[in-house]
Copies of this chain bind each other. A is one copy, B any other.
Amino acid sequence: MPRPRVHDPDAILAAAEELLVERGRGPLTVRALTERSGASNGTVYHAFGSLETVVATAWLRRARQFLTLQRDAVEQAMAAGGPRRAVQAAADAPARLAEADLPAARLLVSLQRDDVLGDAVAPAVAVDLRALDAALAGTLRDLAQALWDRGDAAAVDVVTLCVVRLPAALLFDAIRAGQVPAHPRAQLAAAVGAVLDCGPTP
């Protein structure tokens, strides 16, 4: 049997999360990570293979957590109030996550696409990443279908706007600052309603 671990990979991920939330992806270097986590360079590379994989894995955990929360909220709202309520619930999901688990929300909000999917992420992790993307795309398409009986790009774009871009614009700054958004939530609901009323292009 091999030598036992002295550094839990989860502890390395936790250190990475801290640094990402505090300073963002740019200043997160291998050296900063080893200093914060106590693990050596060799240990980090033995466990993850690349720094990009560390970042991608940290993101992946939190994104799964978010999508689960969002899916539940959407299904519940869909059953109780129909597709419009479901879109509202999906848009509100980041605020809910911030209520339930602020560090998780802060991590997701502190990274951009390019930070997560680089050339050096381990193939297995990259596959999971793309699977999550597909899951979100599926949810968006389902919502468009339920709203207007349409699954075309124009319809999905409107839903994406409501569920992805508007929350990013209205909620992310507050979350990044470590607050659970309050007033912005009401504004978001109003904006989503207005955009849905516009509907997709014919």
Which one of A79-87, A139-147, A190-198 contacts B? A190-198
Is residue A31 within 8 Å, beta carbon to beta carbon, of the partner chain?
A: no
Interface pair B190/A197, CB less than 8 Å apart: yes
Q: Are B195 and A187 in contact (CB under 8 A)?
A: yes
Considering the complex, which residues of chain A in the window 30-63 have a beta carbon less than 8 Å from any beta carbon of chain B?
none
Identical subunits present: 2
Interface residue? A28 (CB, 8 A) = no
Docked CA distance A79–B187 (Å): 27
SS class, residues of chain A in contact with chain B: helix
Complex partner residue of A194 from B158, B161, B190, CB under 8 angstroms: B190
Interface status of A165 (Cβ within 8 A of chain B): yes
- Name the one of B166, B169, B194 contacting A193, with C-beta atoms under 8 angstroms: B194
For the complex, give the distance between the alpha carbons of A195 and B184 in Å: 9
**Do B190 and A195 touch (CB < 8 A)?**
yes
10 smallest CB-CB distances across A and B, nearest first, come from A169-B169, A194-B194, A190-B194, A191-B191, A165-B169, A187-B195, A190-B198, A187-B198, A191-B194, A183-B201
